[in-house]
């Protein structure tokens, strides 16, 4: 219960900081909408739904990257990460709080992006929406860890996409498969497995990222 | 309380601290002095547990919850208010009667009237006072203070002087400072880094 209380306190803090600063969510919303609009005009007419679903995953991955690039900025201003690391809570709670906050921003951006996708490109069935949620969970779990690693380095803006994009490839494969394949539900299992494995790995290894 | 033997810390090839032996008894008040770059901050970060020695041994006889660390940076969120910052750390440190403790500290350091303002609107001195409150919040048995007087005005200096006088003896306190004369009456030991 104490662990969950720590996670709740840290997530609540991130949501409050974003509510005040409005740095991340508006940028994510604008980015995903403008990406969909640009790709709507960039794709030749009659391209087909399969190509359109590819557009969706590109938009999701890059929007998540935008959110992750900002994820640890409040902790690096005023050196707050040191304060959190010194606190006697389990350090994985810091990762979980950040993951939940980033996930909520990503889901909020998709509450706008998915209707826009349907409007511009193609319909989405329940399997595709479930795949979007699973991809969000996976990319936030692994992305919060890699963003913390990148934030500790010098070229953090460069490092983050280099770390996240290769790890996001299975998510894109699973997401596209769930949206276009006949047995899309099988890809949901792949995504759920990815989420479970990478969430546990990130949860367990976060301590080593923020301490020596 | 603190026992270090042949302590060394490097950043890459640069050796910041080396061959340091240190014993600090419980309840001691130790001043750490030395010119810029002599390793004061590195030593304090080692004591706080934020970094590990490159060589040698360091033992601090308290848990993480027993350490209060005041850094060069204030370690508080700019977009949160003083109350929200202290409440967050109070929850993470499981401070009993948190609200009362926070209110008492804010009153004591002259921040009560600004308690609901965001830290981004604070002056540097007010932010430093809040950082002191954060370090003291959980009543740590070891206080590690890195240049605690920096950015404080005369009133802030007086408030911190009073607090340290009250804590001296009942807490182990290690302070790095460029003005050792101010704290000399409280000091039970001094470490001069070259």
Instruction: Give CA–CA dist B159/B156, Å, rounded.
Output: 5
Whether the predicted pLDDT of A155 surpasses 90: no
Q: What is the pLDDT of residue B88?
A: 96
A94, A210 in Cβ contact below 8 A? yes
In this prediction, residue A180 carries a pLDDT of 83
Task: Please state the rounded mean pLDDT for residues B49-71.
Answer: 93
Chains A, B: CB contacts within 8 A come to 76
The per-residue pLDDT of chain A, averaged, comes to: 91
Q: Write down how long chain A is.
A: 212
Q: Which of A16, A17, A82 sits opposite B75 (nearest CB)?
A: A82
| B145 contact A CB<8A | no
Indicate yes or no: CB of B78 within 8 angstroms of CB of A6: no
**B92: chain A residues, CB-CB within 8 Å:** 6, 9-10, 84, 87-89
In this complex, the residue of A9, A17, A21 whose CB is nearest that of residue B92 is: A9
Contact: B78, A77; criterion CB under 8 Å? yes
For residue A174, name the pLDDT band (cuts at 50, 70, 90).
Answer: very high
pLDDT at A156 over 80: no
Task: Tell me what pLDDT residue B166 has.
Answer: 93
- C-alpha to C-alpha distances, B181 to A24, B31, B32, B186, nearest whole angstrom: 47, 10, 12, 10
* A191-to-A36, A129, A133, A169 alpha-carbon distances in Å: 24, 13, 10, 11
SS3 of chain A: CHHHHHHHHHHHHHHHHHHHHCCCHHHHHHHHHHHHHHHHHHCCCCCCHHHHHHHHHHHHHHHHHHHHHHHCHHHHHHHHHHHHHHCCCCCHHHHHHHHHHHHHHHHHHHHHHHHHHHHHCCCCCHHHHHHHHHHHHHHHHHHHHHHHHHHHCCCHHHHHHHHHHHHHHHHHHHHHHHHHCCCHHHHHHHHHHHHHHHHHHHHHHHHHHHCC
**A88-126 residue pLDDT tens:** 999 999 999 999 999 999 999 999 999 999 998 888 889
pTM over 0.80: yes
Note the pLDDT of residue A110.
Answer: 93
Question: For A126-150, how does the pLDDT look when each residue is reduced to its tens digit (9 = 90+)?
Answer: 999 999 999 999 999 999 999 998 8
CA A15, A79, B46 angle in degrees (round to 5)? Answer: 135
Other CB atoms within 10 A of residue B79 CB: 20
Residue A76 dihedral angles phi and psi, to the nearest 5°: -90, -20
Q: Please state, rounded to an integer, the average pLDDT across all residues of chain B.
A: 93
Distance CA A153, CA A163 (A): 12
Collect all residues from A whose CB is shorter than 8 A from any CB in B. 2, 5-6, 9-10, 13, 16-17, 20-21, 74, 77-80, 82-89, 212
Query: pLDDT for A193-205, tens place per residue?
Result: 999 999 999 999 9
d(CA A31, CA A2) in angstroms, rounded, equals: 37
Q: Which pLDDT score, from 0 to 100, does residue B27 have?
A: 93
Partner residue opposite A86 with nearest CB, options B48, B88, B118: B48
Residues of A within 8 A of B52 (CB-CB) are 212
**Average pLDDT of the residues in A42-61:** 84
Interchain contact, B73 vs A82, CB within 8 Å:
yes
Give the separation between CA A184 and CA A130, rounded to whole angstroms: 10
Can you say how many angstroms the Cα of residue A122 is from the centroid of all Cα atoms in its chain? Answer: 23
pLDDT bin (cut points 50, 70, 90) of residue A183 is: confident
Lowest mean pLDDT among A73-77, B23-27, B98-102: A73-77
Question: Per the CB < 8 Å rule, is B93 touching A13?
Answer: no
Rounded to an integer, what distance in angstroms lies between the CA atom of residue A23 and that of residue B38? 39
The per-residue pLDDT for range B97-154, each reduced to its tens digit, is 999 999 999 999 999 999 999 999 999 999 999 999 999 999 999 999 999 998 899 9
């Amino acid at each position: 219960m104490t662990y969950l209380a720590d996670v709740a306190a840290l997530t609540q803090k991130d949501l409050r900081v974003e509510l005040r600063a409005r740095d991340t969510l508006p940028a994510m919303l604008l980015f995903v909408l403008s990406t969909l609009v640009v790709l709507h005009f960039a794709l030749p007419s009659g391209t087909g739904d399969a190509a359109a679903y590819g557009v969706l995953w590109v938009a999701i991955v890059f929007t998540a990257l935008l959110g992750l690039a900002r994820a640890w900025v409040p902790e690096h201003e005023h050196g707050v990460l040191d304060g959190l690391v010194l606190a006697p809570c389990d350090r994985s709670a810091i990762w979980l709080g950040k993951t939940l906050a980033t996930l909520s921003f990503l889901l909020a951006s998709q509450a706008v992006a998915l209707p826009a996708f349907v409007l511009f490109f193609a319909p989405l069935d329940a399997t595709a929406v479930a795949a979007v949620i699973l991809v969000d969970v996976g990319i936030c779990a692994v992305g919060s860890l890699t963003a913390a690693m990148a934030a500790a380095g010098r070229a953090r803006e460069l490092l983050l996409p280099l770390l996240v994009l290769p790890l996001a490839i299975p998510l894109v494969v699973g997401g596209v498969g769930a949206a276009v394949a006949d047995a899309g539900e099988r890809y949901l299992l792949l995504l759920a497995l990815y989420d479970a494995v990478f969430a546990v790995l990130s949860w367990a290894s976060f301590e080593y990222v923020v301490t020596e | 309380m603190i026992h270090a033997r042949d302590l060394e810390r490097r950043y890459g090839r640069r050796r910041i601290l080396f061959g340091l032996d240190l014993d600090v008894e419980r309840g001691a008040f130790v001043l750490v002095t030395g010119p810029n770059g002599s390793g004061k901050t590195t030593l304090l970060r080692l004591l706080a547990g934020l970094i590990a020695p490159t060589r040698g041994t360091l033992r601090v006889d308290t848990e993480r919850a027993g350490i209060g660390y005041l850094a060069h940076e204030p370690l508080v969120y700019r977009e949160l208010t003083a109350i929200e910052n202290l409440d967050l750390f109070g929850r993470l440190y499981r401070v009993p009667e948190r609200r009362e403790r926070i209110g008492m500290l804010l009153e004591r350091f002259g921040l009560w009237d600004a308690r609901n303002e965001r830290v981004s609107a604070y002056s540097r001195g007010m932010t430093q006072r809040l950082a002191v409150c954060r370090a003291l919040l959980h009543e740590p048995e070891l206080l590690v203070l890195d240049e605690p007087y920096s950015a404080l005005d005369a009133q802030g200096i007086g408030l911190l002087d009073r607090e340290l006088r009250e804590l001296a003896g009942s807490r182990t306190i290690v302070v790095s400072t460029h003005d050792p004369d101010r704290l000399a009456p409280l000091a039970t030991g001094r470490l001069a880094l070259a």
